[in-house]
Structure 1
Amino acid sequence: MNNIWLRKKEVDILRYLPYFLSKEPTFKSVNAADNAEHERLRLQIQECLEQLFLKTATWGLRLWEEYCGLQSDETLDYKTRRNRVLDVLNGTETVTKDFLLTLINRYVADKSGSVIEHYDQYYIDILLPDGKVTSFVDLEKNLRTFMPAHLGWKYVAFSGVNDYVNVSGIVSGCREFSIMADTSYDLLIDGPAEPVATGIVMQGYEITIEPDLFK
């Protein structure tokens, strides 16, 4: 929320008055008292405005829950309560894959939950990172609320590992080949004088064999 019309800086009335007035002790004291009261009112107005928006509402969440027909539970944190209200407000949306991803990741700490659809079998796999689901009870409840009756779902827990895997082995047998250098070898090409491309080299190694390597 960005209320550009509302003052963001702390109130200081003397900022708008001639500088010399701030040097007069009585006038300065009166303005300091006025500043404190104006600042208190500014913060109260800001707090009231925050209750009008679900993402910033705190004590106003009770009104949102009442509007959505939800029982207020102040033992829950603000994020969980906001998600419960969002789930009700989004109840008229079509249940698409994107909708399910948004719904599921409201209850996943790092937003890494995902969905695999099985159209021919009428169910989905819900992939959840192990140990990162913030409220499995609320997730289950909302899936039962919004999932179409003809679709089922299966939970799949997974653990992500960001690491390297090194594979090694032991040579149990080998053969040695000796390629003698022959500087008089000629390669005859029976065909066009110009090179003809017959393929594309994806990977290659260049080996240089010196003429006197095997002397």
Structure 2
Amino acid sequence: MIQKLPRYYRDSPQVTELERVLDIQAQGLRSAVTDTLAQLFVDSATWGLDLWEQWTGLPTDHSRPYAYRRSRVTSKLRGQGSTTLAMIRDVAESFANGEVEIEERTAEYTIVIRFVSELGVPPNISDLMDAVNEIKPAHLAVRYEYRFRTWGQVAGLTWGQVGQYTWGEIREEELSGTDRTL
């Protein structure tokens, strides 16, 4: 801003200091506006998550990471309205961070939620179960199916290729440095 002032103001130490302080204040205001706008969206909210949780009726737990709290709010927002298989899939995917398939077994009064893009059990499966139980019709049971790597899938690898991994890692994670993607 000081460059837009007449020369006699630009040479004044008092005006230069005033402009410097005003610039700091303007930057602080821009930052505050940007941060406040971020709270209006669940995916970017931080301190505003308390308000989102209050609005959706969820308990606030500051010990949990933002990603966890955001996924719960998003799940709750997606779970409003009439329950459909697509809604259950959306809720499950918001927790699982991957793709799921939903299968309705009408004769058995069961919904099967199958995790297809990630190996192992999602880390927040109990929260997912709570969210699904809250939106599903009461007369339906829910079954969860997970993918794991089997011995048959690693049978062709040598001990040198998999020796540095635990069985849990081999069963649930991508193996780096091997000739095959499992």
TM over 0.5: yes
Contact 2:72 2:95 in 1 (8 A): no
- The answer to whether 1:84 aligns with 2:72 is yes
In structure 1, which of residues 119, 122, 132 is the aligned counterpart of residue 109 of structure 2? Answer: 122
In structure 2, which of residues 11, 15, 18 is the aligned counterpart of residue 24 of structure 1? Answer: 11
Please give the secondary structure, in 2, of the residue aligned with 1:149.
coil
Q: CA deviation at 1:105?
A: 1.0
TM-score (norm 2): 0.68
1:36–1:117 distance in 2 versus 1, CA, 3 Å: same
Alignment of 1:97-136 (within 5 A): 97-109=85-97, 111-128=98-115, 129-131=118-120, 133-136=122-125
User: What percentage of residue pairs aligned between the two structures are identical?
Assistant: 25
Distance in 1 between the 2:80 and 2:96 partners? 23
- The answer to whether 1:95 aligns with 2:86 is no
In structure 1, which of residues 61, 66, 75 is the aligned counterpart of residue 49 of structure 2? Answer: 61
The residue that corresponds to 2:165 in the other structure is none
Alignment of 1:32-43 (within 5 A): 32-43=20-31
Distance in 2 between the 1:23 and 1:132 partners? 65
Please give the secondary structure, in 2, of the residue aligned with 1:154.
strand
Distance in 2 between the 1:98 and 1:21 partners? 68
Task: Compare 36-45 and 64-73 and name the one that shifted more.
Answer: 64-73
Please report the RMSD computed on the Cα atoms of aligned residues, expressed in angstroms. 2.9
The unaligned stretches of length 5 or more in structure 2 are 157-182
- The answer to whether 1:146 aligns with 2:132 is no
The unaligned stretches of length 5 or more in structure 1 are 1-12, 167-215
The residue that corresponds to 2:177 in the other structure is none
The residue that corresponds to 1:70 in the other structure is 58
TM-score (norm 1): 0.59
Contact 1:65 1:72 in 2 (8 A): yes
Q: Which has the higher helix share?
A: 2
Distance in 1 between the 2:90 and 2:78 partners? 11
Please give the secondary structure, in 2, of the residue aligned with 1:107.
helix
